[in-house]
Structure 1
Amino acid sequence: MDNILFIGASFSTISLLIWLLASSARLNANPLRAASLGERHGWLAFALTLLAGAAWLVAGREGVLLSVTRDQWIGLRFDALSIPLALLITFLAAIILRFSKHYLAGEPDHGRFTKWMCATFGSVIALVMAPGLAQFLVAWIATSLCLHQLLVFYPARRGTRYSARKKFLVSRISDLLLAIAFSGTYFAFGSQSFEQIFYSLRAEETVLPSYIPWLIAAAAILKSVQFPFHTWLPETMGTPTPVSALMHAGIVNAGGILIITFAPFYQFSDTSAPLHLLALSGAITAAFGSLVMLSQTSVKRSLAYSTVAQMGFMLMQCGLGAFHLALLHIVAHSLYKAHSFLSSGSSVRAIETRSAPANTEPRTPLKLVAAAAAGFLLSLGLFVALSGGFDSKPGAYVFAAVLAAALIQLLYQSPTQRPANGFLSAAAIGSAYLLLTNFAAWWVAPEISVHTLTSSVFDATLAGIIFCVFIFTILLQNLSKAARPDSWVSKLYVHAFNGFYLNTIADRTIRFLRLHPDQA
């Protein structure tokens, strides 16, 4: 089995990373051939990773470490965390590279684009399968640098260069924080191997320095476009659509992958304060992104703020100790967002050619009250029946509130003529979500404990705030359609449309640091 795992995962990583050695000029001379070769590498990497994952599953799901050095400086890690992420990345690589082959046909730098796409995917695979601190940090930095080459693919576009510089600055700060955290970890444990570090931590042989969880949490917040460090993401819409799909479906998940990988650092920490920071940051970001997303008129900018909200929700899951839910969220959101961006052109055409809205039925306050009551009771019943209640569940109150808000919105938007169909659809979706969460908890059990680390008072307070924010968002979405220009709803809509002017603050900061393209 080890040979199958080694051959499969090695090819998945090396075949894509090897594109770094290719000459851009030579690839540009025959771009279609380069694009076809990149696509074949993507599909072959996915097939071999799938074969390696199947072999690992048949062998009993025990963690396997394969390395060319004794302390796992360079190697591959197979466990319940790395396998699904590697499968996800190789699948997205194959799909996005296939889309890029036709999307960029005729571009002078098509070959160079394929090179950096493959190198970026290879860096992400090396990240999720890293067996130790050194490879993780190198792959973390390499992923960002390779993505930067894609963000400035059209160097004449001033806006994309500007957003790339803002992203570059935030990423370098994140890299510095992570490098300090990893250095402290290495000196504290005397090893850079994840296996040895986590074993020493669980056996209480070594005390984890208290500043390390804080630094890792801060690095994840910066990497995963959390409020207020998100401003560069909506401004990258000038990049090719495959880059947007790669970025929103893969790269911004790196912060969540970081926290999930180092979950034992938080489970065996003396304080839950770093997790509270993640939960609060995620909740604020999710609320902000959801509100701003509703006011956007551009499909791609709306998707960008949707990503901001989703990344906030993902880090909130990590902050509440629900690392298994964060892993499930990464997989589901990546597939959804890749499809959304790759089909964004079709969405625009559908909007332009649509003769009338699909559902023009008025939604009254009475319907909202009925939907709220039905959604709340339905979510409570499903949570008790399928999740065993609220005891010993990480963030149970918060996720029950989120589920209730989602079901309420679904019921509120369903046609009044057939309330039973809407209720059955909501029940089916809620049941599917809770069953998937149970499966995720079982899947990660060999690597991560799923017991809560935060207090129930903190959970309940956060749950109440999130539920109120979601209800307010639903109301605002409907009130804005009939609001007068001078009403508070219209004024709030304008502020939300402009992202509450955080981009202006970020722009002035970049100018102060003399990083603006006009100052170069």
Structure 2
Amino acid sequence: MPWFFDLNGYLPALLPLAWLSAAFIPCLPKLHRQHWLLTQVFASAAVVLAFAILATTLHSATPTHHFPLLAADSLSAVMVLMTSLVGWSILRFSRNYIDGEPGRLRFTLWFSLTLTSVTVLVLASHLAVLALAWLATSLSLHRLLVFYPDRAKALLAAHKKFLVSRLADIMLVTGFVLIAQGLGSADIAMINERLQAGAGNGALSLEVAAVLIVLAAALKSAQLPFHGWLIQVMEAPTPVSALLHAGVVNMGGYLLIRLSPLLEATQFAVWLLLAIALATVAIASLVMMTRISIKVMLAWSTTAQMGFMLLECALGLYHLALVHLVAHSFYKAHTFLSSGQAPMQSLIRRGSNEVGRPRPAIWVLALSAGLGIFMLGHYVFGKPITMATLLTGAVLVTAVASLLAELGGALGHAGWRKALAASFAITGAYLLAEQIFGGLVPASAMPPAPSAFLLAAGVLALLLVARAHIMHRPEARLWQRVRPLLFNGLYLDEAFTRITFTLWPPKPRARREQPEPAPIYPDEGVSS
């Protein structure tokens, strides 16, 4: 049966069409009254189509469903389902958030166009389509970042993000041209097959292409020192921040997972990615130890989490990178959409800090319990202990131990019971997700050198030691000297801002006259 008689062949095209309909149809003059209803109907249709793509992809004997220039395999099916669910959730939140704003039609237009571009990016089977969708995603998001044109800080942050994105676009397009010339094809599936077969090994053009793609992914993921815009775009509306942190910023990691055979064929690009990721994780983690404000903490945590995801790609742990990507997206979407609870969470955290820091004995007990839970989980799931397992396990055990120590030390026996239950749930969910996603993403054909794992493990161990020292001796002279530097992010963003504004300064916009506010009382402003 030809592909055009098969419904599965149409699904990769119907999903972007649903988001495109959500962008334009509700903006028709005769449909303004049903604006939100129609937008949510098309968004719900996109979620249904994403579930259908995932179901048919996993159920079909053939691994890929093709439409001209678009394709759906297990990786893209998971990604489009994640982006559709996140987009649908943020859109529902936006109905009340944007209600009454004069630009609500403009907001839903560019929001839906951004989701359309992200969906095409994920489903693209051709390098040209992926590059165009990459560019369209950035341009559509830029219109959302400047939704409030009277906010000077938002405009400056959007300008910095615009410059970083254009630099990433140039690198991405140049890398794609070199790949197409070096391998004689622009079809992504064929490129990966030829790279896995050893075509182009040692070619200088592919080495340069891999470096450019790594740099483009790092710029897209807000890695240091190009991270400042991610912190400053928090001036944008909350739904825009949620979309950026939960979806768009993850596209750099998706690009590396999709073109993983290219990374495996070029070791220099792998070491470059490893260096960028480790530097970002180390500095961002130390900055977050300064207990900066919640808003800035959210942005720095996104930068650190993207660094972890790129680190997993550099180590060939692509299934773990996909787990990290999906979990981070849903977590950040929930965090931003529930940001109204931040003051209460701040009071709770401040109260727990006043109870007192956990004693060293509590930390030893918590680390032992975390290690025991991790080993028990591997025994239950029948997973062998490897070097990659130890590296990811160190991060998981550290997180579980911190939870146990803080809750147990602050709340006593009740805190220990709650923390143990949460630790078992977190560890089980992580191992289950790792097992599921391991069957969706092909394993690395060339495992990285043990020295790369040892370097990553050493950096993570030093961070754990630094965190323990800071928590137990915050008054230490070294910490007091370093704290101002870390609090300001080593002033990396300030240097980058001066350079970019010197090369391409932003153009100030003329401020619009704001109308006088309406009187609160009928007789307000009336002279007696």
Q: TM-score, normalised by structure 2?
A: 0.87
Query: Among 7, 10, 14, which residue is 2:13 paired with?
Result: 10
State, as a whole percentage, how many aligned pairs show the same letter.
Answer: 33
Q: Contact 1:325/1:437 (CA < 8 Å) preserved in 2?
A: yes
Structure 1 residues 375 and 352 mapped into 2: Cα distance closer, same or farther (>3 Å)? Answer: closer
- Residues 373 and 178 (structure 1), Cα distance of their counterparts in 2 relative to 1, 3 Å cut: same
Q: 1:218 aligns with which of 215, 218, 230?
A: 215
Query: Is 1:513 matched with 2:513?
Result: no
Residue pair 2:26, 2:32 contacting (<8 A) in 1 also: no
C-alpha change, 1:491 and 1:411, in structure 2 (3 Å) is: same
**2:338 aligns to what?**
343
Deviation for aligned residue 1:380: 5.1
1:277 to 265, 272, 278: 272
- Structure 1 residue 189: Cα displacement: 2.2
Output one character per residue of 1:28-49: Cα deviation in whole Å (capped at 9) or x when no partner: x976633332222111111122
Cα gap change, 1:114/1:425 in structure 2, threshold over 3 Å: closer, same or farther? closer
Deviation at 1:61, TM superposition (A): 5.9
SS of 1:122's equivalent in the other structure is: helix
Whether contact under 8 Å (2:53, 2:72) holds in the other structure is no
Matches within 5 A, 1:141-156: 141-156=135-150
Deviation at 1:350, TM superposition (A): 5.1
Q: Is the 8 A contact 1:5 1:53 kept in 2?
A: no
**Counterpart of 1:303?**
298
Hey, what does 2:395 align to over in structure 1? 402
CA spacing shift, 1:212–1:353, aligned 2, 3 Å: closer
The 1:478–1:110 alpha-carbon spacing in structure 2 relative to 1, beyond 3 Å, is: farther
Change (3 A) 1:362 1:219: closer
* CA displacement 1:423-444 (0-9 Å, x = unmatched): 5643442233223212211222
Q: Deviations over 1:448-490 (max 9, x none)?
A: 224552111221232122122034224424644xx38xx4434
Distance 1:258 1:356 in 2: 42
Partner of 1:70: none
Equivalent residues in 2 for 1:148-227, closer than 5 Å: 148-207=142-201, 209-227=206-224
Q: How does 1:31-430 map to 2 (within 5 A)?
A: 33-60=34-61, 62-67=63-68, 74=69, 76-207=70-201, 209-267=206-264, 269=265, 271-349=266-344, 351=346, 356-357=351-352, 360-376=355-371, 378-379=373-374, 382-383=377-378, 386=381, 388-391=383-386, 395-416=388-409, 417-418=412-413, 419=416, 422-423=419-420, 425-430=422-427
SS in structure 1 opposite 2:447? coil
Change (3 A) 1:348 1:35: farther
Distance 1:401 1:334, change over 3 A: same
For structure 1, which segment, 345-354 or 400-409, has the greater mean C-alpha deviation from structure 2 after superposition? 345-354
Q: Which runs of 5+ in 1 are unaligned?
A: 68-73
Of the structure 1 ranges 424-433 and 111-120, higher mean CA displacement relative to structure 2 is found in: 424-433
Q: Could you list the per-position Cα deviations for residues 351-409 of structure 1 after superposition, in whole angstroms to 9, with x for gaps in the alignment?
A: 46999549825411232233334434554564576464344x6x344213212322221
The letter for the 2-side match of 1:34 is H
TM-score (norm 1): 0.88
- Determine helix, strand or coil for the equivalent of 2:67: strand
Query: Deviations 1:138-173 (Å, cap 9, x if unpaired)?
Result: 000100000000011111111111111111111111
Return the alpha-carbon distance in structure 2 between the equivalents of residues 61 and 265 of structure 1: 24
1:153/1:479 CA distance change after superposition, 3 Å: farther
Contact 1:286 1:313 in 2 (8 A): yes
SS of match in other structure, 1:77: strand
Gap regions ≥5 residues in structure 2: 511-528
Q: Report what 2:525 is aligned to.
A: none
* Aligned residue type for 2:143: Q
Change (3 A) 1:89 1:188: same
SS at match of 2:124: coil
Structure 2 residue identity aligned to 1:139 = A
RMSD: 2.8
Separation in 2, partners of 1:353, 1:210 = 51
Q: Distance in 2 between matches of 1:125 and 1:154?
A: 26
AA aligned to 1:4 is L
- Output aligned runs, 1:466-505, within 5 Å: 466-477=460-471, 479-480=473-474, 483=475, 487-505=477-495
Equivalent residues, number: 500
Residue type of the alignment partner of 1:414: L
Q: Distance in 2 between matches of 1:406 and 1:349?
A: 23
Which amino acid letter does the alignment assign opposite residue 57 of structure 2? W
| Contact 2:288 2:297 (8 Å CA) reproduced | yes
Matches of 1:381 and 1:20 in 2, distance apart?
A: 49
Distance in 2 separating the partners of 1:457 and 1:146: 42
Cα drift, residue 331 of structure 1: 0.8
